[in-house]
Copies of this chain bind each other. A is one copy, B any other.
Amino acid sequence: MKLLKDRILRDGKSFEGGILKVDSFINHQMDPILMKSIGVEFVRRFGHLPINKIVTIEASGIAPAIMLGYLLELPVVFVKKAVPKTMENMLTASVYSFTKDKTYDICVSRDFLTADDRVVFIDDFLANGNAAIGVHELVEKAGAQVLGMGFIIEKSFQQGHLRLRELNIPIESLARVKTLGNNKVEFED
């Protein structure tokens, strides 16, 4: 997605150690017009699939997911990164975060993820794939099916894509970053 890659080159900041900061337009401050264009691009990639629901994970996945859900007129469920004490009837999975160096529980209500659901999972980043694998586990526990996984940015030098490929689910990343560092970003292709 050229618009996105150009924006990453212009406003993204890269650092040694594979760090890419896009917090001025994607995951802290967000550009809603770009988010809508990202939604349109996900429609192109997933709109032909027989999906009835979009699933994402809080917080940075919500903006692109809601745009995709709006364009396809489908409900959007966001998986929570903490288990609320008031929530009943939950499905949970454990996810290890490299960034935070800790394991946390993610959860979703069984009311909103059932055996009837055919979903696309949307998130901002694919790095090691742990969050995506955790959400996939929740969907399996619900008896539902993931028909596709879409990421705004993929760090293709990390293990996520390789690990998700074993699930045999179509993966679409709108910008695949090959190398990072020294204020330089290179994309795949």
Contact = CB atoms under 8 A, between A and B. Distances in A.
A32 interface: yes
B69 A32 contact: yes
Given A59-B59, A62-B59, A62-B62, A28 B70 contact: no
Contacts of A70: 32-33, 35-36, 67
A188 to B, nearest CB: 25
* Overall SS of chain A's interface: mixed
Interface string A1-29: 00000000000000000010001110011
A184 to B, nearest CB: 20
Interface of A: 19, 23-25, 28-33, 35-36, 58-59, 62-63, 66-67, 69-70, 73-78, 80, 84-86, 99-100, 108-109, 111-112
Given A29-B112, A32-B74, 5 more contacts: A30-B66, A32-B69, A32-B76, A35-B66, A59-B80
